[in-house]
Structure 1
Amino acid sequence: MKSTLIISTYNWLEALELVLLSALQQTQLPDEIIVADDGSSEDTASLIESFKSKFKIPLHHVWHEDDGFRKSVILNKAIAQAKGDYIIQADGDCILHTNFIEDHLHFAQQNTYLFGSRVNIQKDYLDTLFKNKQIRFHVFSKGIKKRTRALHIPFLSQFYNVSNSFSKKYRGCNTSYFKSDFIAVNGYNEDFKGWGREDSELALRFHNFGLQGRRIRYRGIVFHIYHSEKSKSRLELNNDIELQTITNKTVWCTNGIDKYLSENN
């Protein structure tokens, strides 16, 4: 089974550099990495180019023009190009634990999507973080909160079972699934504009399709770099889209990944 790591980003060079550095240190590499870029400036392209020779696997950059927050669109475009059977997804502000890829692949199974924990790196630690280019953390590390989420204890993770119910602990910055399941629900709903609900709405359609969710607690950890909140100007409209998915038990979104698939086959 081939795997693809998808990293979404937008104009935060320092954070993306740390994420790529953490990808280099994985105990198990994916078969390829795709950076899904929602319209960053040229310096992001230059950074990605500089990393290509450091990886033993392909590193691709999928970009479109900046036209506001269009994370759903760029993720669909990137996943359409993915050659992996299994998609592992992280954000460009989330440093990966060294076992991140290995942990997701360990629990990958049919009819299931996975989601892991997110440890928060605090605002007042950012100067130190970027100065030292720190990519390794543990439960006693400075600068983090929700620190019990940093515990990597594989033995305990086995006690978290699959569930038919959507979990509010789900975060799109740390999730994985089979590409075939993603295509079966037509991927991300591109009706979502601006921040909010695009990830949880996808997971809800996974459940409507018949998938189960599994939280991989104590494994599959990311360290989320603090940033100011995104604009929530579209949140009410996005909430309405998600509510319709719940009410109608929607599986297929009409404005999804299918439009990009024929050009990448």
Structure 2
Amino acid sequence: MSSKPAASLIISTYNWPEALELSLRSVMAQSVLPAEVIIADDGSGAATKELINKFQAAFPIPLIHIWHEDKGFRKTIVLNMAIAKAKSEYIIQIDGDIIIHHRFIEDHLSFSKPGSFVRASRAYVDEKTTKDIIQHKRYKIHAFSKGITNVLSVLRIPFLWSLFETNYKNKGEEVYEIHGCNMAYWRKDLIAVNGYNELFNGWGPEDKELIARMMNLGIQKRFIKLGALAFHLFHKENSRNRLQKNTELFKDTIEKKIVFCEKGIDQYL
């Protein structure tokens, strides 16, 4: 694009202020800042609120805290609330256990293109290294830091982006592969499909179901490989007790080519 859009960075979090602090510090170190940062908080306690209040006093851009009561994993609801609050035309979305490369926002904005949404990669940080990073509050890491499990996901080579942009498996459910911890989309496109489906309770695969509806609408999926680098801190897996029911909703969206979910973002607009 000749002109880059204004972007809101949305960070989802739940009761891990130590990781969120590093994520926010990595935002402050960006070569290009987003227009605002919105914390989508799925019911964290006082420690997270205190951390955000501390950062708000010195943050170079608006830092907004969207919170709702903890009634279990209700990420779809708080994300819809955050997206409804966003003032920018473009949304970049990460999780609060993600540390971003200092050119992360710059890369996403450079890669943005109307009529499309973006899947991006992340590298995993192993458990031992995560504990060390948290203890020493280190947010400057790179592909060759100790404890990085998939180095190819965090090499930055912009001139190769076009090789991977639409070169992904186009069969079965693989075409719906997405990482909610590192993705980007136009706010108007998300509103057109009514945002996240709030019938999803508990973990997974709410992000895949969202982009399935976007693709059913004709919005193109694009993949940024070797750019928009993100490092995912180690944590235990979330409960999968609702996975079967959620997967049925996802498959229903694919089979029936659903575009607009009944319970979504429209109630907050």
Normalising to structure 1: TM-score of the pair? 0.95
Name the SS for the 1:228 alignment partner.
coil
> Pick from 236, 249, 255: which aligns with 2:263?
255
2:193 maps to 1:185? yes
Aligned residue pairs total: 261
State the partner residue of 1:199. 207
Unaligned runs of at least 5 residues, structure 1: none
Match of 2:19 in 1: 15
Structure 2 residue 111 is the aligned partner of structure 1 residue 107: yes
Residue 146 of structure 1 and its aligned partner are, at CA, apart by 0.6
Q: What is the root-mean-square deviation of aligned Cα atoms in Å? A: 1.3
Task: State the identity %.
Answer: 48
Question: Does residue 219 of structure 1 match 2:227?
Answer: yes
Q: Which of 134, 137, 145 is matched with 1:133 structurally?
A: 137
- C-alpha distance in 1 between matches for 2:198 and 2:167: 27
Counterpart of 2:85? 81
Listed as ranges, the gaps of 5+ residues in structure 2 are none
User: Shift of the alpha carbon at 1:159?
Assistant: 1.7
Of residues 29, 34, 55, the one that matches 1:30 is 34
CA–CA separation in structure 2 for the residues paired with 1:159 and 1:222: 20
Tell me the CA shift for residue 160 of structure 1. 2.0
1:114 CA displacement? 0.6
Residues 89-127 of structure 1: CA deviation (Å, up to 9, x unaligned): 000011111111111110111110012111000012222
Contact 1:137/1:150 (8 A) holds in 2: no
Contact 1:162 1:212 in 2 (8 A): no
Q: Mean alpha-carbon deviation: is it higher for 64-73 or for 144-153? A: 144-153
Tell me the CA shift for residue 163 of structure 1: 6.8
Q: 1:144 Cα deviation (Å)?
A: 1.1
Within 1, Cα distance between the matches of 2:122 and 2:40?
20
Q: Give the distance between the partners of 2:138 and 2:176, measured in 1 at CA.
A: 29
In 1, Cα distance between equivalents of 2:161 and 2:167: 14
Per-residue CA deviation, residues 213-232 of structure 1 (Å, 9 max, x unaligned), is 11100001110011111000
